[in-house]
Amino acid sequence: MVLFLILLSLVCKQIDIGDTFVVLYLLITFVVLAIIFTIFITNTNPKFNLTSAKGRNKHLYLKLLRKAMGDKLLVERLIEAERQRLPHASENSLLKLAIERWDHHHRP
């Protein structure tokens, strides 16, 4: 990214800066490269993967885990209780239902 900005500044110095078409073209190229880079990083780096091996949405799992004060066994029991109620539901649906049930039972 920094290298591209340096190249952009060098190109703009050699080209008449008043030529907005060239600057616009370079800006669009930069945006497209940034998008491609972001997609590549999020697809190849497991740190950015939002779905765990069990097909669970990590955001939902972590939300339920925070509610359970870090008790992973409790979270698994809550998910399993929802699975007993709806055996064919997806993992994400089970997580959402467990969060809703938790919120219902722990209202102030």
> Do residue 10 and residue 44 come from a single domain?
yes
- Cβ proximity of 41 and 67 under 8 Å: no
Domain count, the chain: 2
Q: What is the structure's pLDDT at 47?
A: 53
Domain contains 89: yes
Give how far Cα 9 sits from Cα of 6, 27, 36, Å. 5, 11, 22
> Do residue 44 and residue 62 come from a single domain?
no
* Domain end call among 28, 48, 68: 48
For the cut 90, the answer to whether the pLDDT of residue 104 exceeds it is yes
The mean pLDDT value for 75-94 works out to: 92
Helices 2-14 & 20-44 angle (0-180, nearest 10):
170
> Do residue 97 and residue 62 come from a single domain?
yes
> Residue 47, Cα to own-chain centre: how many angstroms?
10
pLDDT tens per residue, range 17-39: 556 666 667 777 778 777 877 77
Q: What is the structure's pLDDT at 56?
A: 72
E runs forming strands in 12-83: none
Confidence of residue 94 (pLDDT cuts 50, 70, 90): very high
Give the residue with greater pLDDT, 4 vs 31.
31
Q: Which domain holds residue 40?
A: 2-48
Question: 3-class DSSP state for residue 38?
Answer: helix
Q: Which amino acid, residue 10?
A: L
The mean pLDDT value for 30-55 works out to: 65
Domain contains 13: yes
